């Protein structure tokens, strides 16, 4: 987030030297607005940390009912910020040129995973072990000679490892993708800054071998991140949500949880694009093509949101068994119906009736407005799913019926501490993202210079047209 527009003009951006000069200047300068937002979000982050400490001191981890909003905040960051990295991976695999100015914008959301990893730690203590008789995907029976060999903290172990590898693969993807840019900053700086970026650049000099390694490592890390994202959503959605509600059996819910992350990830990147264009001075780099291209992808994923939801809903609704009816009464028709309606309207109805119109879809304000609604809808959806699950008493009590919910619990309203945790989660995410912009250029420099090799103007009759080539 930098103040001011480019002073170089579009003509200089058509040469590698001009691209270097413009983007390095932007990366090196911070305005008053940047510092003010960094200070505010840093304070918000501290408020969230204080909120978690107060929650641990006042309530401990035995009462699962008070941890629902914390779990929802964790799931919200997992669904939005950590899903946003896929915006850099998928269009790059498709060799789309429009995504070049926003690839780094998306990749840098990997650093937000560090905040979410810290938020996940208290949830490990809140979730009872299998030994306590908790309903789970993992089969465990202390009396069985085979099933007793399953570690009682099996979901805790695998979910933790999955989230750790997701964060590490995202950070590695960001670093490998940034090697050439870090070397560019190294070569244009001196003193301690030069030594710091020389260490980060790891001996990058742009040899053919290094470029070969870079392209292949980006592909491998992108595939590994996608795999870990799906696997992490599978574990979190199953053991930290669905298994806590007696009678809820839905084979599609884990992948629904992951698919929601792709839609919310697109929305998160669009909001970041708008902020960088409007307040960061990157209007020369982030334009209509980026909003249009990502808006079409977000529109398709909004339709997919309904497909996944309806595929699960029709099974429970048409089956109408008592345990299925109780699940519907809890998360759709019961105390959390307002949250469900908000999610249904903002994640499906609004994108459908707004993005179907080309003037809205092919604009900057249209996708931004829809993306804002999607993030709000995702916020309510995570509250609906996680707060309702953690509100059920006796999660780890072996005497509780695990096959049917006999009594629908009342709506759990947020406590003051819950507001503190949510403020800290959102503020901390923005805070670490902004800190990362001081290290990694927010616009991918080497990809902009590479694009010059793939485009040229060709005379056609009485005019000239821009011709774009495809790599490979």
Query: Could you report the per-residue pLDDT of 262-314, keeping only the tens digit for each?
Result: 999 999 999 999 999 999 889 889 999 999 999 999 999 999 999 999 999 99
Q: How much is the average pLDDT of 389-409?
A: 80
C-alpha–C-alpha distance, residues 392 and 372, integer Å: 31
Percent of the chain with pLDDT over 90: 65
| pLDDT computed for residue 3 by the predictor | 42
Q: Above 60 in pLDDT, residue 325? A: yes
- Is the pLDDT at 120 greater than 70, yes or no? yes
Whether residue 447 has pLDDT greater than 70:
yes
What mean pLDDT comes out for the span 163-173?
97
Q: Is the pLDDT score of 38 beyond 70?
A: yes
Q: What is the pTM of this model?
A: 0.92
User: Distance (Å, rounded) from C-alpha 234 to C-alpha 250?
Assistant: 12
Q: What is the mean predicted confidence (pLDDT) over 111-126? A: 94
What is the rounded average pLDDT of the residues 361-389? 95
Q: Average pLDDT, stretch 394-421?
A: 84
Can you tell me which residue has the tokens 């989660």? 425
Residue 324 has pLDDT above 80, yes or no: yes
Domain ranges of the chain: 10-468
For residue range 72-100, what is the model confidence (pLDDT) as tens digits? 999 999 999 999 999 999 998 888 888 99
| 467 CB-near residues (< 8 Å, 6+ apart) | 455, 456, 457, 458
| pLDDT higher than threshold 60 for residue 7 | no
| pLDDT at res. 383 | 96
Q: Within 13 Å of residue 428, how many CA atoms lie on the same side as its CB? A: 25
Q: Which whole-number Å values give the CA distances from 353 to 256, 299, 338, 360, in the listed order? A: 22, 10, 21, 10
| End-to-end Cα separation, the chain, in angstroms | 34
Q: Is the pLDDT of residue 28 over 90?
A: no
- Structure tokens of 26? 């932007």
pLDDT at 167 over 90: yes
Nearest in space to 76 (alpha carbons), one of 449, 464, 417, 378: 378
Summarize the confidence of residues 230-240 as an average pLDDT.
94
Question: What's the pLDDT score for residue 137?
Answer: 72
% of the chain with per-residue pLDDT over 70: 93
What mean pLDDT value characterizes the chain? 89
Q: What is the structure's pLDDT at 2?
A: 44
């Amino acid at each position: 987030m930098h103040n001011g527009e480019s002073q170089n003009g579009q003509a200089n951006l058509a040469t590698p030297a001009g691209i270097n000069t413009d983007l390095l200047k932007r990366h090196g300068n911070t305005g008053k607005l940047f510092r003010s937002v960094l200070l505010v979000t840093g304070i918000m982050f501290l408020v969230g940390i204080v909120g978690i400490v107060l929650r641990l001191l006042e309530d401990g981890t035995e009462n699962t009912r008070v941890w629902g909003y914390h779990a929802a905040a964790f799931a919200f960051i997992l669904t939005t910020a950590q899903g946003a990295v896929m915006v850099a991976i998928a269009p790059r695999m498709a060799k789309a040129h429009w995504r070049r100015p926003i690839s780094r914008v998306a990749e840098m959301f990997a650093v937000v995973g560090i905040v979410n990893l810290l938020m996940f730690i208290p949830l490990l203590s809140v979730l009872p072990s299998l030994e306590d008789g908790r309903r789970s995907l993992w089969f465990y029976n202390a009396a069985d000679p085979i099933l007793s060999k399953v570690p009682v903290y099996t979901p805790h172990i695998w979910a933790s490892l999955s989230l750790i590898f997701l964060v590490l693969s995202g950070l590695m993807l960001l670093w490998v993708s940034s090697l050439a840019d870090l070397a560019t900053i190294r070569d244009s700086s001196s003193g301690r800054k030069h030594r710091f970026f020389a260490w980060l650049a790891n001996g990058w000099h742009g040899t053919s071998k290094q470029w070969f390694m870079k392209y292949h490592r980006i592909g491998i890390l992108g595939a590994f991140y996608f795999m870990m994202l799906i696997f992490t959503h599978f574990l979190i959605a199953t053991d930290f949500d669905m298994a806590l509600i007696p009678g809820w059996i839905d084979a599609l819910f884990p992948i629904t949880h992951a698919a929601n992350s792709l839609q919310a990830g697109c929305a998160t990147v669009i909001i970041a694009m708008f902020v960088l264009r409007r307040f960061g001075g990157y209007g020369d780099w982030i334009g209509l093509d980026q909003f249009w291209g990502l808006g079409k992808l977000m529109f398709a994923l909004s339709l997919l949101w309904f497909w996944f939801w309806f595929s699960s809903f029709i099974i429970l609704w048409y089956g109408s068994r008592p345990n299925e009816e109780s699940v519907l009464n809890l998360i759709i028709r019961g105390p959390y119906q307002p949250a469900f309606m908000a999610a249904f309207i903002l994640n499906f109805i609004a994108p459908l009736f707004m993005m179907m119109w080309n003037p809205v879809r092919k604009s900057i304000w249209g996708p931004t407005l829809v993306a804002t609604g999607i993030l709000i809808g995702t916020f309510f959806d995570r509250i609906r799913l996680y707060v309702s699950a953690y509100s059920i008493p006796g999660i780890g009590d072996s005497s509780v019926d695990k096959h049917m919910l006999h009594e629908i619990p009342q709506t759990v309203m947020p406590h003051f501490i819950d507001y503190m945790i949510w403020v800290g989660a959102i503020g901390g995410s923005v805070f670490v993202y902004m800190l990362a912009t001081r290290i990694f250029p927010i616009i991918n420099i080497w990809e902009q210079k590479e694009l010059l090799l793939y485009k040229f103007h060709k005379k056609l009759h009485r005019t000239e047209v821009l011709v774009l080539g495809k790599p490979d």
